[in-house]
Amino acid sequence: MTAANETVPTQVERPKGANYRWTVCALLFFATTINYIDRQVLGILAPVLEKEIGWSESQYGFIVTAFQGAYAIGLVVVGRMMDLLGTKIGYSVAMVFWSLAAMAHALAKSAFGFGAARFALGLGESGNFPAAIKTVAEWFPKKERALATGIFNAGSNVGAVVAPLVVPWLTLTYGWQEAFIFTAAIGFVWLIFWHWLYEKPEQQKRLSARELSYILSDPPEPETKIKWLKLMPHRQTWAFAIGKFLTDPVWWFYLYWVPKFLNANYGLTLDKIGLPLVIIYLMADVGSIGGGWLSSVFIKRGWSVNKGRKMAMLICALCVVPIMYASQAKEMWLAVALLGLATAAHQGWSANLFTTTSDMFPRRAVGSIVGFGGMAGAVGGMLISTATGFILELTGSYVSLFIIAGAVYLLALLIIHLLVPKLEPARIAE
């Protein structure tokens, strides 16, 4: 039987004026924005807290690792939880947990205290992407999933843009403890809108019959749950997981060390760090939407899903390569431009990598697959965070770190292509 995504997708007419699914996408976008605001606060305040708390580079590396260790553990459980409980309840639980954990940073007095708060935050925040990816699989036909994923994934960049605008002002005006508390409180506002506006498509009264038909236009899939262990033997599972393992750590590195890099190399203080970070993450925002849009354009022009996704990922991987020069840039704005290009390419890559899960797996397995892949990415992040702390403590140089960051995407794409040459759907026994 010919794999569904090696053929040109069936053209189903998009219903005009029926766009409630994009309201759902907006909710996912804002949840991801909040997720990254809460995550980004520590990185922005790291130079300040390093002086106030007195931690070393290696201790900071372990603080970051605590988050990623919890994130890895959480993703193994949370992905399956989303499949079992559904996104409405599961997303709500995750949002409450991580918002409270973010507030708990205000109570920390030592490196250990920050590590404990980061561990709790990692457990809670691990629910965001499995829930969002599963929601996209439920609310969008396959042809729109890359674009929808790119849009909500852009929330991570918006969060990273908002944080450097808000956190320095809150810190300089009120104190660093208040910066953690005020940003964390936004999550409870989101919960109100989530419970007001969200239901599954079949249960959503605001959804027109035409749009529901369009959402469900892909071939029907069995509703029985897939046992988690049945997903492990498949090449498709490992292609996604290895892609995440190799490339997610680069994003973690940007998130937690770019403010420190700009401070160390160019002397940027808290009151001046905002604009460079805003520019970097605005570029990343464009890349997130552009990467999803690019593969969607290729597919709409008649390319197979396999060719369209991989061509978009190759373009993104090539755009990361110039980051190897960033640590040697004498001008700050050149370094900012290189960082912006690399983060944009990463987010475009990420949007397409996420979407391969719904290309290769039935909807009922997507949450678990995303959770497993995210766990692999978090494990990779743990390794790079620990190594980064020791490398900087020993050498004081970012050269080797940026070289690694520029090379791993091409390696990841090669491995993905070798494992799934055609992005063929996994044949999972019921």
Taking only the tens of pLDDT, the chain with its 430 residues reads 333 343 344 455 666 656 888 888 999 999 999 999 999 999 999 988 988 888 888 899 999 999 989 988 887 788 778 878 888 898 999 999 999 999 999 999 899 999 999 999 999 998 898 889 888 888 888 878 878 888 888 887 788 889 999 999 999 999 999 999 999 999 999 999 998 988 887 877 787 777 777 777 777 665 566 666 788 889 999 999 999 999 999 999 998 999 999 988 998 888 888 899 999 989 988 888 888 888 888 888 888 888 999 999 999 999 999 999 999 999 999 999 999 999 999 999 998 998 898 889 887 787 778 778 888 888 899 999 999 999 998 988 899 999 999 999 999 999 999 999 988 888 776 5
- How far is 351 from 149, CA to CA, in rounded Å? 6
The total number of residues shown for the chain amounts to 430
**DSSP result, 26-89:** HHHHHHHHHHHHHHHHHHHHHHHHHHHH---HHHHHHHHHHHHHHHHHHHHHHHHHHHHH-HHH
Residue 110 neighbours by CB distance under 10 Å: 12
Amino acid 18: pLDDT: 66
Q: Are 188 and 102 in contact (CB under 8 A)?
A: no
Give the ranges where 326-396 is alpha helix by DSSP (H): 332-360, 363-395
Return the structure tokens found at 215: 């959402």
Return the structure tokens found at 418: 């070798």
**DSSP result, 339-353:** HHHHHHHHHHHHHHH
- How far is 173 from 91, CA to CA, in rounded Å? 33
Parse the chain into domains and list their residue ranges: 18-201+208-217+227-419
- How far is 208 from 17, CA to CA, in rounded Å? 10
Model-wide pTM > 0.85: no
Cα dihedral across residues 35, 154, 211, 362: positive or negative: negative
- How far is 290 from 287, CA to CA, in rounded Å? 5
* Angle, alpha carbons 24-30-34 (nearest 5°): 145
* Among the four given CATH numbers 1.20.1250.20, 3.30.870.10, 3.30.420.40, 3.40.50.720, the one describing domain 18-201+208-217+227-419: 1.20.1250.20
